[in-house]
């Protein structure tokens, strides 16, 4: 398992697509305020680090946005609602599976976390979050050996992801278990990324896609949480099937992520690729090799989706839940979530019957949705 050792100028989407193993190596001060070309420059005319050169319309838009960002936070948020969609406002080239699952729990909570990155830092620094990441890392190291690689560009970063995919596809073809498998692809026009916890074969030789969840209580979670966790494995299934069926193209990756196919690979990445027997000098060539390898693979779609729950303190298993997969229903649900990101509707909070979720929300004290829709939500008990 290649582990990225990053030296890059762009911290965009720091938390959105990392694996649990990578999470532990990230410093909390790497997360930035939402940056909309020039929003952080404070008068500096240079664009954000790592971005492609701007066109004349983009420069004009950036000048207008600098005026927006010079106003109070409340005013600039209101103005920005009419000038860009959330993907643009939060400078998201892609979304992560985990972010979409958070959105299914409470959309307003996701937005609060993006608008208030300092509070998001505090939420990510909670002991239970790090403990869960440590358990996942320990599980991954049971079947993979880490190899540190220095990456010098965003293209290097994605090249490492491609190398991991190729390495783990070979492992799956031998009938062995893999963990932290990178998945990505375009879903309903939006690029989505994530990491599958585990792919393994059962006693009948069928591929099983599993997600490990840790809990403080020694009990299976409530139906609402199982529903959220189930969405995660169903999205992983959709992305994985698209990758092995050849639905992902090189342009999907380069265009959506704003990457340069002709960019030369860094020395560390290049050396590791050659050690794997991969002959590629540029990022685009490496993508072609990876996509061809996926298309020629004999790995079949997972036959089962499974949630595994274990106790956070002891690591003891709690139980499992099998998740059904119906692609039409999943795509319809996904379209509803993506409608917010593409600017077709405003963010929505939880319904009144789910107001119990607010009790454990990091942002409940200042949540306008809660104040406006159910000010006495504290009286609603958890189902």
Give me the average pLDDT of each 10-residue run along the chain (383 residues).
47 49 45 40 38 49 47 46 81 95 94 84 68 64 76 95 96 95 96 96 96 90 94 98 97 97 96 95 98 95 96 87 97 97 94 89 87 65 43
Task: Say yes or no: 182 and 324 in one domain.
Answer: yes
Task: Say yes or no: 142 and 182 in one domain.
Answer: yes
The answer to whether 318 and 310 have CB atoms below 8 angstroms apart is yes
Task: Say yes or no: 162 and 44 in one domain.
Answer: no
The answer to whether 286 and 168 have CB atoms below 8 angstroms apart is no
Cβ density class 163-193: b for 16+ within 10 Å, e for less:
bbbbbbbebbeeeebbbbbbbbbbbeebbbb
Flag whether 346 is in a domain.
Answer: no
Provide φ and ψ at 159, rounded to 5°. Answer: -65, -40
Provide φ and ψ at 180, rounded to 5°. Answer: 55, 50
Flag whether 364 is in a domain.
Answer: no
Residue 112's domain is classified under what CATH number?
Answer: 3.90.320.10
The pLDDT of residue 143? 65
Task: Say yes or no: 61 and 152 in one domain.
Answer: no
Task: Say yes or no: 184 and 46 in one domain.
Answer: no
Task: Say yes or no: 232 and 322 in one domain.
Answer: yes
Helix (H) or strand (E) holding 66: helix 56-69
The pLDDT of residue 234? 98
Query: C-alpha angle 238/243/249, rounded to 5°?
Result: 120
The pLDDT of residue 68? 42
Task: Say yes or no: 53 and 137 in one domain.
Answer: no
How far apart (Å, rounded) are the C-alpha atoms in residues 304 and 331? Answer: 19
271: which residues sit within 8 A by CB, 6+ positions away?
none
Q: Which residues pair with 292 in a beta bridge?
A: none
The pLDDT of residue 9? 40
87: which residues sit within 8 A by CB, 6+ positions away?
95, 190, 341, 342, 343
Q: Which domain holds residue 42?
A: 37-83
Task: Say yes or no: 204 and 227 in one domain.
Answer: yes
Domain tally, the chain: 2
Count CB atoms within 10 A of the CB of residue 365. 8
The pLDDT of residue 125? 67
Flag whether 218 is in a domain.
Answer: yes
Helix (H) or strand (E) holding 307: strand 304-311
Give counts: helices (H), strands (E), the chain. 15, 8
Q: Which two tokens stand for residue 96?
A: 């992560």
In the three-class reduction of DSSP (H, G, I as helix; E, B as strand; rest coil), residue 312 is classed as: coil
Task: Say yes or no: 304 and 231 in one domain.
Answer: yes
The model's pTM is 0.78
The pLDDT of residue 37? 37
Task: Say yes or no: 21 and 128 in one domain.
Answer: yes
E strand residue ranges, 101-204: 147-151, 178-187, 190-201
Flag whether 161 is in a domain.
Answer: yes
Q: Which two tokens stand for residue 178?
A: 């893999």
Flag whether 45 is in a domain.
Answer: yes
Flag whether 376 is in a domain.
Answer: no
How far apart (Å, rounded) are the C-alpha atoms in residues 211 and 233? Answer: 7
Task: Say yes or no: 67 and 196 in one domain.
Answer: no
The pLDDT of residue 374? 82
Pairing of strands 207-215, 190-201: antiparallel
Flag whether 105 is in a domain.
Answer: yes
Instruction: Give the residue from 253, 217, 212 showing the smallest Cα distance to 233.
Output: 212
Flag whether 363 is in a domain.
Answer: no
Task: Say yes or no: 108 and 244 in one domain.
Answer: yes
The pLDDT of residue 146? 77
DSSP letter assigned to residue 229: H
């Amino acid at each position: 398992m290649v582990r990225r050792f990053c030296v890059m100028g762009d911290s965009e989407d720091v938390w959105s697509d990392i694996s649990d193993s990578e999470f532990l190596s990230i410093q909390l001060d790497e997360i930035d305020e939402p940056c909309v070309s020039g929003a952080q420059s404070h008068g500096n005319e240079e664009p954000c680090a790592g971005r492609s050169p701007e066109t004349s319309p983009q420069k004009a838009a950036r000048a207008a946005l600098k005026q927006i960002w010079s106003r109070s936070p409340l005013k600039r948020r209101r103005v920005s609602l009419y000038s860009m969609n959330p993907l643009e406002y939060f400078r998201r080239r892609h979304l992560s599976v985990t972010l979409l699952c958070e959105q299914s729990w409470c959309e307003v909570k996701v937005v609060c976390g993006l608008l208030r990155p300092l509070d998001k830092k505090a939420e990510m620094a909670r002991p239970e979050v790090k403990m869960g990441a440590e358990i996942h890392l320990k599980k991954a190291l049971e079947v993979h050996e880490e190899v540190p690689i220095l990456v010098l560009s965003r293209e290097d970063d994605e090249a490492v992801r491609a190398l991991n995919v190729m390495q783990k596809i070979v492992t799956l073809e031998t009938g062995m278990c893999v963990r932290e498998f990178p998945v990505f692809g375009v879903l309903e026009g939006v690029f989505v990324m994530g990491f599958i916890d585990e792919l393994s074969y059962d006693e009948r030789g069928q591929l099983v896609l599993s997600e490990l969840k840790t809990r403080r209580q020694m009990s299976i979670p409530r139906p609402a949480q199982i529903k959220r966790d189930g969405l995660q494995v169903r999205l992983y299934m959709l992305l994985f099937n698209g990758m092995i069926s050849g639905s992902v193209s090189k342009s999907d990756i380069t265009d959506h992520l704003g990457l340069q196919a002709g960019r030369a690979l860094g020395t560390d990445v290049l050396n590791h690729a050659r050690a794997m027997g991969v002959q590629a000098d540029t990022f685009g060539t490496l993508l072609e090799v990876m996509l061809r390898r996926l298309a020629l693979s004999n790995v079949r779609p997972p036959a089962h989706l499974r949630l595994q729950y274990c106790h956070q303190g002891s690591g003891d298993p709690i139980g499992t839940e099998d998740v059904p997969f119906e692609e039409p229903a999943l795509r319809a649900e996904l379209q509803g979530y993506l409608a917010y990101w593409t600017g077709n509707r405003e963010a929505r909070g939880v319904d009144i019957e789910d107001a119990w979720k607010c009790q454990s929300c990091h942002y409940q004290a200042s949540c306008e949705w809660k104040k406006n829709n159910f000010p006495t939500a504290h009286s609603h008990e958890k189902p």
